Homo-oligomer: A and B are copies of this chain.
Amino acid sequence: MYDQLKGFRDFYPGEQSARREVTDTIEAAAKRYGFREVATPALERTQMYTDKSGEGIVEELYSFTDQGGRDVALTPELTPTVARMVVAKGQELSKPIKWVSTRPFWRYEQVQQGRFREFYQTNIDVFGSAEPEADAEVLAVAADALTSLGLTGDDFEFRVSHRDVLGGLVRALAADPDAVDTADAIRAVDKRAKIDEAEYLTLLEEAGLDRTTAREFDDLIVGVDGVDDLDAVAEAGGEDVEAAVENLRAVLAAADDFGAGEYCDVSLTTARGLDYYTGVVFECFDSTGEVSRSVFGGGRYDDLIESFGGQPTPAVGVAPGHATLKLLCQRAGVWPDETLETDYYVLSVGDTRAEAARIARDLRALGHVVEADLADRGFGGQLGYADSINAETTVIVGEQDLANDEVTIKEMASGDQTTAPVAEFPPEAGRPTYDDYA
Protein backbone atom coordinates (compact mmCIF):
# COMPACT_ATOMS: atom_id res chain seq x y z
CA MET A 1 0.00 0.00 0.00
CA TYR A 2 2.77 2.46 0.87
CA ASP A 3 5.91 2.46 -1.22
CA GLN A 4 9.48 3.20 -0.32
CA LEU A 5 11.05 6.48 -1.48
CA LYS A 6 13.42 6.24 -4.42
CA GLY A 7 17.04 6.04 -3.30
CA PHE A 8 16.05 4.98 0.23
CA ARG A 9 16.51 1.41 1.39
CA ASP A 10 15.00 -1.01 3.87
CA PHE A 11 17.54 -3.45 5.26
CA TYR A 12 16.04 -6.79 6.32
CA PRO A 13 17.85 -9.02 8.87
CA GLY A 14 20.17 -11.05 6.61
CA GLU A 15 21.62 -8.07 4.76
CA GLN A 16 21.62 -5.98 7.91
CA SER A 17 23.64 -8.54 9.89
CA ALA A 18 26.33 -8.37 7.20
CA ARG A 19 26.21 -4.54 7.23
CA ARG A 20 26.46 -4.54 11.01
CA GLU A 21 29.49 -6.83 10.91
CA VAL A 22 31.22 -4.53 8.40
CA THR A 23 30.38 -1.39 10.40
CA ASP A 24 31.58 -2.99 13.65
CA THR A 25 34.83 -4.04 11.97
CA ILE A 26 35.55 -0.54 10.65
CA GLU A 27 34.67 1.13 13.96
CA ALA A 28 36.74 -1.41 15.92
CA ALA A 29 39.78 -0.58 13.77
CA ALA A 30 39.30 3.14 14.42
CA LYS A 31 38.84 2.53 18.15
CA ARG A 32 42.13 0.61 18.34
CA TYR A 33 43.81 3.85 17.19
CA GLY A 34 42.00 5.81 19.91
CA PHE A 35 39.31 7.37 17.72
CA ARG A 36 36.31 8.09 19.98
CA GLU A 37 32.72 7.83 18.86
CA VAL A 38 30.57 10.94 18.53
CA ALA A 39 26.91 11.19 17.53
CA THR A 40 25.50 14.11 15.60
CA PRO A 41 22.15 15.55 14.48
CA ALA A 42 20.42 14.68 11.22
CA LEU A 43 19.41 18.31 10.66
CA GLU A 44 21.55 21.45 10.47
CA ARG A 45 20.89 25.01 9.33
CA THR A 46 20.99 25.16 5.53
CA GLN A 47 23.21 28.24 5.76
CA MET A 48 26.05 26.05 7.03
CA TYR A 49 26.18 24.47 3.57
CA THR A 50 25.31 27.47 1.37
CA ASP A 51 27.93 29.69 3.06
CA LYS A 52 30.66 27.30 1.92
CA SER A 53 29.31 26.06 -1.37
CA GLY A 54 26.91 28.73 -2.60
CA GLU A 55 23.13 28.59 -3.09
CA GLY A 56 23.63 26.01 -5.86
CA ILE A 57 24.23 23.32 -3.25
CA VAL A 58 20.55 23.56 -2.22
CA GLU A 59 19.63 21.54 -5.32
CA GLU A 60 21.54 18.59 -3.91
CA LEU A 61 20.11 18.95 -0.41
CA TYR A 62 16.96 17.79 1.31
CA SER A 63 16.29 21.28 2.67
CA PHE A 64 13.11 22.88 3.97
CA THR A 65 11.74 25.43 6.40
CA ASP A 66 10.76 23.95 9.76
CA GLN A 67 7.66 24.90 11.79
CA GLY A 68 9.69 27.52 13.63
CA GLY A 69 10.69 29.19 10.35
CA ARG A 70 14.27 27.88 10.36
CA ASP A 71 15.87 26.94 7.05
CA VAL A 72 17.22 23.47 7.71
CA ALA A 73 18.74 20.61 5.72
CA LEU A 74 19.24 16.91 6.19
CA THR A 75 23.02 16.62 6.62
CA PRO A 76 24.65 15.69 3.26
CA GLU A 77 28.01 14.95 4.94
CA LEU A 78 29.57 14.95 8.40
CA THR A 79 32.52 17.33 8.03
CA PRO A 80 30.68 20.67 8.55
CA THR A 81 28.89 19.24 11.61
CA VAL A 82 32.06 18.03 13.33
CA ALA A 83 33.75 21.35 12.43
CA ARG A 84 30.85 23.13 14.18
CA MET A 85 31.29 20.82 17.20
CA VAL A 86 35.03 21.50 17.41
CA VAL A 87 34.38 25.25 17.27
CA ALA A 88 31.64 24.99 19.94
CA LYS A 89 34.00 23.42 22.51
CA GLY A 90 36.92 25.71 21.65
CA GLN A 91 40.03 25.05 23.72
CA GLU A 92 38.20 22.63 26.02
CA LEU A 93 39.07 19.56 23.94
CA SER A 94 42.60 18.15 24.22
CA LYS A 95 44.35 17.98 20.83
CA PRO A 96 44.59 16.03 18.65
CA ILE A 97 40.85 15.37 18.67
CA LYS A 98 40.17 11.95 17.11
CA TRP A 99 36.55 11.16 16.28
CA VAL A 100 34.69 8.35 14.54
CA SER A 101 31.00 7.98 13.70
CA THR A 102 28.81 5.88 11.42
CA ARG A 103 25.56 7.44 10.18
CA PRO A 104 23.29 7.93 7.20
CA PHE A 105 23.54 11.11 5.12
CA TRP A 106 21.18 12.44 2.48
CA ARG A 107 21.64 13.96 -0.95
CA TYR A 108 19.07 14.46 -3.67
CA GLU A 109 20.96 12.92 -6.58
CA GLN A 110 20.71 10.41 -9.42
CA VAL A 111 20.34 6.89 -8.06
CA GLN A 112 22.75 4.34 -9.57
CA GLN A 113 24.74 1.26 -8.56
CA GLY A 114 26.41 2.02 -5.24
CA ARG A 115 24.83 5.49 -5.02
CA PHE A 116 21.66 6.21 -3.07
CA ARG A 117 19.85 9.26 -1.74
CA GLU A 118 20.22 7.93 1.79
CA PHE A 119 23.75 6.56 2.17
CA TYR A 120 25.89 5.44 5.10
CA GLN A 121 29.43 6.49 5.91
CA THR A 122 31.90 5.95 8.73
CA ASN A 123 33.72 9.25 9.22
CA ILE A 124 37.17 9.16 10.84
CA ASP A 125 38.81 12.55 11.55
CA VAL A 126 41.83 14.03 13.33
CA PHE A 127 41.69 17.70 14.37
CA GLY A 128 44.57 19.76 15.71
CA SER A 129 47.65 18.35 13.99
CA ALA A 130 49.31 19.60 10.81
CA GLU A 131 52.01 16.92 11.06
CA PRO A 132 52.45 14.21 8.39
CA GLU A 133 51.84 11.61 11.10
CA ALA A 134 48.18 12.68 11.26
CA ASP A 135 47.66 12.16 7.51
CA ALA A 136 49.54 8.87 7.75
CA GLU A 137 47.44 7.65 10.68
CA VAL A 138 44.27 8.32 8.68
CA LEU A 139 45.71 6.22 5.83
CA ALA A 140 46.77 3.53 8.33
CA VAL A 141 43.40 3.29 10.05
CA ALA A 142 41.64 3.07 6.67
CA ALA A 143 44.02 0.29 5.55
CA ASP A 144 43.60 -1.48 8.89
CA ALA A 145 39.80 -1.35 8.53
CA LEU A 146 39.94 -2.81 5.01
CA THR A 147 42.38 -5.60 5.87
CA SER A 148 40.27 -6.40 8.97
CA LEU A 149 37.40 -6.99 6.53
CA GLY A 150 39.55 -9.57 4.75
CA LEU A 151 40.72 -7.37 1.87
CA THR A 152 44.39 -7.48 0.87
CA GLY A 153 46.89 -5.33 -1.00
CA ASP A 154 45.79 -7.16 -4.16
CA ASP A 155 42.27 -5.85 -3.67
CA PHE A 156 42.63 -2.13 -3.06
CA GLU A 157 45.01 0.81 -3.44
CA PHE A 158 45.09 4.31 -2.04
CA ARG A 159 45.88 6.87 -4.75
CA VAL A 160 47.57 9.65 -2.82
CA SER A 161 47.85 13.19 -4.15
CA HIS A 162 48.41 16.72 -2.84
CA ARG A 163 46.24 19.74 -3.60
CA ASP A 164 49.14 22.17 -3.19
CA VAL A 165 51.26 20.22 -5.69
CA LEU A 166 48.43 20.50 -8.21
CA GLY A 167 47.59 24.12 -7.41
CA GLY A 168 51.25 25.20 -7.26
CA LEU A 169 51.97 23.51 -10.57
CA VAL A 170 49.03 25.22 -12.27
CA ARG A 171 50.20 28.64 -11.03
CA ALA A 172 53.85 27.95 -11.93
CA LEU A 173 53.00 26.89 -15.47
CA ALA A 174 50.39 29.57 -16.21
CA ALA A 175 51.40 32.50 -18.38
CA ASP A 176 49.56 34.75 -15.90
CA PRO A 177 49.39 33.09 -12.43
CA ASP A 178 46.99 35.78 -11.18
CA ALA A 179 44.48 34.89 -13.89
CA VAL A 180 44.31 31.23 -12.85
CA ASP A 181 41.43 29.84 -10.78
CA THR A 182 43.29 27.11 -8.90
CA ALA A 183 40.12 25.59 -7.41
CA ASP A 184 38.58 25.30 -10.89
CA ALA A 185 41.75 23.66 -12.21
CA ILE A 186 41.74 21.14 -9.36
CA ARG A 187 38.06 20.41 -10.00
CA ALA A 188 38.98 19.73 -13.64
CA VAL A 189 41.59 17.17 -12.50
CA ASP A 190 38.97 15.56 -10.25
CA LYS A 191 36.70 15.12 -13.27
CA ARG A 192 39.51 13.92 -15.56
CA ALA A 193 38.65 10.21 -15.52
CA LYS A 194 34.91 10.84 -15.95
CA ILE A 195 34.96 13.10 -19.04
CA ASP A 196 36.64 13.03 -22.45
CA GLU A 197 39.96 14.71 -23.15
CA ALA A 198 38.56 17.69 -25.07
CA GLU A 199 36.13 18.51 -22.29
CA TYR A 200 38.89 18.14 -19.71
CA LEU A 201 41.24 20.48 -21.58
CA THR A 202 38.43 22.99 -21.99
CA LEU A 203 37.87 22.98 -18.23
CA LEU A 204 41.59 23.65 -17.70
CA GLU A 205 41.42 26.47 -20.24
CA GLU A 206 38.44 27.95 -18.43
CA ALA A 207 40.51 27.78 -15.25
CA GLY A 208 43.12 30.00 -16.89
CA LEU A 209 45.64 27.72 -18.65
CA ASP A 210 46.11 28.02 -22.39
CA ARG A 211 45.74 24.81 -24.41
CA THR A 212 49.46 24.10 -24.68
CA THR A 213 50.07 24.73 -20.98
CA ALA A 214 47.06 22.58 -20.11
CA ARG A 215 48.63 19.67 -22.04
CA GLU A 216 52.00 20.35 -20.41
CA PHE A 217 50.35 20.32 -16.96
CA ASP A 218 48.54 17.11 -17.75
CA ASP A 219 51.68 15.41 -19.07
CA LEU A 220 53.45 16.32 -15.83
CA ILE A 221 50.78 14.93 -13.49
CA VAL A 222 50.18 11.82 -15.58
CA GLY A 223 53.93 11.18 -15.67
CA VAL A 224 54.11 10.61 -11.93
CA ASP A 225 53.97 6.89 -11.22
CA GLY A 226 55.94 6.74 -7.99
CA VAL A 227 57.66 8.83 -5.36
CA ASP A 228 60.80 9.18 -7.48
CA ASP A 229 58.86 10.84 -10.30
CA LEU A 230 58.01 13.71 -7.94
CA ASP A 231 61.44 15.30 -8.53
CA ALA A 232 60.44 16.39 -12.02
CA VAL A 233 57.25 17.93 -10.69
CA ALA A 234 59.05 19.80 -7.91
CA GLU A 235 61.52 21.11 -10.46
CA ALA A 236 58.80 22.34 -12.81
CA GLY A 237 56.77 23.86 -9.97
CA GLY A 238 59.24 25.89 -7.99
CA GLU A 239 59.31 26.66 -4.29
CA ASP A 240 55.64 26.15 -3.29
CA VAL A 241 55.43 22.87 -5.14
CA GLU A 242 58.73 21.73 -3.63
CA ALA A 243 57.32 22.28 -0.14
CA ALA A 244 54.14 20.39 -1.02
CA VAL A 245 56.14 17.54 -2.56
CA GLU A 246 58.21 17.39 0.61
CA ASN A 247 55.02 17.18 2.69
CA LEU A 248 53.67 14.43 0.44
CA ARG A 249 56.94 12.47 0.79
CA ALA A 250 56.80 12.90 4.59
CA VAL A 251 53.25 11.58 4.72
CA LEU A 252 54.20 8.54 2.61
CA ALA A 253 57.27 7.89 4.81
CA ALA A 254 55.11 8.02 7.95
CA ALA A 255 52.54 5.77 6.27
CA ASP A 256 55.37 3.31 5.65
CA ASP A 257 56.29 3.34 9.35
CA PHE A 258 52.61 2.94 10.24
CA GLY A 259 52.24 -0.16 8.07
CA ALA A 260 50.13 1.45 5.33
CA GLY A 261 52.87 2.16 2.79
CA GLU A 262 52.22 -0.98 0.76
CA TYR A 263 48.68 0.25 -0.04
CA CYS A 264 49.73 3.75 -1.16
CA ASP A 265 50.51 4.88 -4.71
CA VAL A 266 51.32 8.44 -5.69
CA SER A 267 48.73 9.62 -8.20
CA LEU A 268 48.56 13.31 -9.08
CA THR A 269 45.50 12.72 -11.26
CA THR A 270 43.62 12.24 -7.98
CA ALA A 271 42.22 15.55 -6.68
CA ARG A 272 38.93 15.08 -4.70
CA GLY A 273 35.90 17.15 -5.56
CA LEU A 274 35.17 19.16 -2.40
CA ASP A 275 36.62 22.66 -2.19
CA TYR A 276 37.55 22.49 1.49
CA TYR A 277 40.48 20.09 0.95
CA THR A 278 43.89 21.74 1.33
CA GLY A 279 46.87 19.30 1.39
CA VAL A 280 47.23 15.56 0.99
CA VAL A 281 44.15 13.95 -0.53
CA PHE A 282 43.57 10.33 -1.46
CA GLU A 283 41.04 7.95 -2.93
CA CYS A 284 40.65 4.22 -2.47
CA PHE A 285 40.21 2.18 -5.66
CA ASP A 286 39.54 -1.44 -6.48
CA SER A 287 42.93 -2.73 -7.71
CA THR A 288 41.25 -4.97 -10.28
CA GLY A 289 39.24 -2.06 -11.69
CA GLU A 290 36.06 -4.13 -11.58
CA VAL A 291 34.51 -1.54 -9.25
CA SER A 292 35.25 1.37 -11.55
CA ARG A 293 34.35 4.23 -9.23
CA SER A 294 36.39 5.52 -6.31
CA VAL A 295 35.37 3.43 -3.29
CA PHE A 296 35.89 6.32 -0.86
CA GLY A 297 38.34 9.12 -0.17
CA GLY A 298 39.74 11.54 2.32
CA GLY A 299 42.28 14.24 2.90
CA ARG A 300 43.32 17.41 4.69
CA TYR A 301 41.05 20.36 5.32
CA ASP A 302 43.19 22.74 7.33
CA ASP A 303 41.11 25.90 6.83
CA LEU A 304 37.57 24.72 7.54
CA ILE A 305 37.51 25.10 11.34
CA GLU A 306 38.85 28.65 11.13
CA SER A 307 36.32 29.53 8.43
CA PHE A 308 33.65 28.33 10.89
CA GLY A 309 34.87 30.92 13.41
CA GLY A 310 37.20 28.65 15.39
CA GLN A 311 40.88 28.89 16.21
CA PRO A 312 43.11 27.78 13.30
CA THR A 313 42.85 23.98 13.56
CA PRO A 314 44.38 21.72 10.92
CA ALA A 315 42.34 18.61 10.17
CA VAL A 316 42.48 15.43 8.13
CA GLY A 317 39.96 12.64 7.69
CA VAL A 318 38.56 9.76 5.69
CA ALA A 319 35.00 8.54 5.20
CA PRO A 320 34.44 4.99 3.92
CA GLY A 321 31.04 4.88 2.20
CA HIS A 322 29.30 1.61 2.88
CA ALA A 323 27.55 1.15 -0.48
CA THR A 324 30.71 1.28 -2.63
CA LEU A 325 32.64 -0.64 0.02
CA LYS A 326 30.04 -3.40 -0.28
CA LEU A 327 30.70 -3.57 -4.04
CA LEU A 328 34.44 -3.95 -3.37
CA CYS A 329 33.92 -6.58 -0.64
CA GLN A 330 31.55 -8.55 -2.88
CA ARG A 331 34.00 -8.38 -5.80
CA ALA A 332 36.78 -9.67 -3.50
CA GLY A 333 34.53 -12.36 -1.99
CA VAL A 334 34.76 -11.07 1.58
CA TRP A 335 31.25 -9.67 2.06
CA PRO A 336 29.92 -11.41 5.21
CA ASP A 337 27.48 -14.28 4.96
CA GLU A 338 23.90 -12.98 5.12
CA THR A 339 22.25 -16.07 6.63
CA LEU A 340 20.64 -15.86 10.06
CA GLU A 341 22.20 -17.81 12.88
CA THR A 342 20.56 -19.11 16.04
CA ASP A 343 22.29 -21.08 18.78
CA TYR A 344 19.24 -22.83 20.29
CA TYR A 345 15.57 -23.37 19.74
CA VAL A 346 13.81 -24.62 22.88
CA LEU A 347 10.84 -26.70 21.77
CA SER A 348 8.03 -27.11 24.31
CA VAL A 349 5.29 -29.71 23.82
CA GLY A 350 2.49 -30.40 26.28
CA ASP A 351 2.35 -28.64 29.63
CA THR A 352 6.08 -27.89 29.84
CA ARG A 353 6.25 -24.13 29.24
CA ALA A 354 7.63 -23.26 32.68
CA GLU A 355 10.54 -25.73 32.41
CA ALA A 356 11.23 -24.85 28.76
CA ALA A 357 11.28 -21.15 29.69
CA ARG A 358 13.71 -21.86 32.53
CA ILE A 359 16.06 -23.62 30.11
CA ALA A 360 15.78 -20.77 27.56
CA ARG A 361 16.57 -18.23 30.30
CA ASP A 362 19.58 -20.21 31.51
CA LEU A 363 20.94 -20.57 27.97
CA ARG A 364 20.50 -16.83 27.37
CA ALA A 365 22.30 -16.11 30.64
CA LEU A 366 25.27 -17.94 29.07
CA GLY A 367 25.10 -15.38 26.24
CA HIS A 368 23.51 -17.61 23.59
CA VAL A 369 20.84 -16.69 21.04
CA VAL A 370 17.75 -18.68 22.02
CA GLU A 371 14.27 -18.74 20.55
CA ALA A 372 11.19 -20.53 21.83
CA ASP A 373 7.59 -20.93 20.69
CA LEU A 374 5.54 -17.72 20.61
CA ALA A 375 2.84 -18.99 18.25
CA ASP A 376 1.26 -22.01 20.02
CA ARG A 377 2.62 -24.40 17.40
CA GLY A 378 2.78 -28.18 17.62
CA PHE A 379 5.93 -30.28 17.44
CA GLY A 380 6.29 -30.23 13.65
CA GLY A 381 5.51 -26.54 13.32
CA GLN A 382 8.08 -25.65 15.93
CA LEU A 383 10.73 -27.87 14.33
CA GLY A 384 10.04 -26.21 10.98
CA TYR A 385 10.46 -22.77 12.54
CA ALA A 386 13.70 -23.86 14.26
CA ASP A 387 14.91 -24.91 10.84
CA SER A 388 13.88 -21.61 9.25
CA ILE A 389 16.01 -19.64 11.72
CA ASN A 390 18.98 -22.02 11.24
CA ALA A 391 18.97 -23.19 14.85
CA GLU A 392 22.14 -25.18 15.54
CA THR A 393 20.62 -27.18 18.39
CA THR A 394 16.99 -27.80 19.33
CA VAL A 395 16.29 -28.65 22.96
CA ILE A 396 13.05 -30.63 23.10
CA VAL A 397 11.13 -30.31 26.36
CA GLY A 398 8.28 -32.83 26.19
CA GLU A 399 6.06 -34.14 28.99
CA GLN A 400 7.57 -37.61 28.54
CA ASP A 401 11.11 -36.16 28.63
CA LEU A 402 10.37 -34.39 31.88
CA ALA A 403 8.75 -37.50 33.36
CA ASN A 404 12.16 -39.16 32.78
CA ASP A 405 13.96 -36.10 34.22
CA GLU A 406 15.46 -35.53 30.77
CA VAL A 407 15.43 -33.19 27.80
CA THR A 408 16.20 -34.18 24.22
CA ILE A 409 19.15 -32.52 22.47
CA LYS A 410 18.77 -32.48 18.69
CA GLU A 411 21.57 -31.47 16.33
CA MET A 412 19.71 -29.78 13.52
CA ALA A 413 22.28 -30.27 10.74
CA SER A 414 22.40 -34.08 11.10
CA GLY A 415 19.05 -34.69 12.77
CA ASP A 416 20.85 -36.76 15.42
CA GLN A 417 19.44 -36.59 18.91
CA THR A 418 20.22 -37.75 22.41
CA THR A 419 19.11 -36.92 25.95
CA ALA A 420 20.53 -34.86 28.81
CA PRO A 421 19.50 -34.80 32.48
CA VAL A 422 17.12 -31.84 32.88
CA ALA A 423 18.44 -30.97 36.34
CA GLU A 424 21.90 -30.37 34.89
CA PHE A 425 20.87 -28.68 31.67
CA PRO A 426 22.30 -26.32 30.70
CA PRO A 427 25.63 -26.63 32.52
CA GLU A 428 26.95 -23.54 34.29
CA ALA A 429 29.20 -22.55 31.42
CA GLY A 430 29.84 -23.28 27.76
CA ARG A 431 27.70 -24.07 24.79
CA PRO A 432 26.23 -27.55 25.21
CA THR A 433 25.56 -29.45 21.98
CA TYR A 434 24.62 -32.95 20.88
CA ASP A 435 28.29 -34.02 20.95
CA ASP A 436 28.50 -33.33 24.70
CA TYR A 437 25.78 -35.89 25.47
CA ALA A 438 25.95 -38.44 22.63
Taking beta carbons and an 8 Å cutoff, which residues of A are in contact with B?
Answer: 1-6, 8-13, 16-17, 19-20, 31-34, 36-45, 47-48, 59, 62, 64-68, 70, 72, 74, 80-81, 84-85, 87-89, 93-96, 98-99, 104, 106, 108, 118, 126, 128-129, 131, 133-134, 137, 144, 254, 257-259, 308-310, 340, 342, 353-354, 357, 361, 364, 367-376, 385, 388-389
Residues of B contacting A33 with CB < 8 Å?
364, 369-371
Given contacts A353-B254, A371-B34, contact A41 B361 (CB under 8 A): no
Q: How many identical subunits does the complex contain?
A: 2
A2-B308, A10-B85, A353-B257 known; A106+B42 contact, CB < 8 A: yes
6 A–B contacts from the bound complex (CB under 8 Å): A2-B308, A5-B45, A10-B81, A32-B367, A129-B375, A254-B353
Most buried by B among A31, A144, A374, A376: A374
The answer to whether A37 and B10 touch across the interface, beta carbons within 8 angstroms, is no
B376 touching A13 by the CB < 8 A rule? no
Pairwise interchain contact A375-B66, C-beta atoms closer than 8 A: no
A95 to B373, CA, bound (A): 11
**In contact, A88 and B37 (Cβ under 8 angstroms):** no
| B16-A374 in contact (CB<8A) | no
Q: Are B96's CB and A375's CB within 8 A?
A: yes
Main secondary structure of the interface of A (DSSP, over half): mixed
Beyond A16-B37, A32-B367: 5 further Cβ-contacts under 8 Å?
A: A1-B87, A5-B72, A10-B39, A17-B36, A95-B375
Q: Which of B4, B66, B126 touches A41 (beta carbons < 8 Å)?
A: B4
Q: How far is the CA of A48 from the CA of B8 in the complex (A)?
A: 16
Q: Which residue of B lies closest to A67 (CB)?
A: B108
- What residue in chain B is nearest A31 (Cβ atoms)? B369
Q: Are B2 and A45 in contact (CB under 8 A)?
A: yes
Do residues A34 and B67 form an inter-chain contact, with CB atoms below 8 A? no
Chain B residues whose C-beta falls within 8 Å of the C-beta of A20 in the assembled complex: 37
A45 and B11 form a contact (CB under 8 A) = no
B40 touches A257 (CB 8 A): no
Q: Nearest B residue to A307 by beta-carbon distance?
A: B1
User: For residue A42, which residues in chain B have a CB less than 8 angstroms away from its CB?
Assistant: 8, 42, 74, 104, 106, 118
Determine how close the nearest CB of chain B comes to the CB of A246; give it in whole angstroms: 15
Chain B contacts of A88 at CB under 8 A?
4, 10
CA distance A15 to B99 in the complex (A): 13
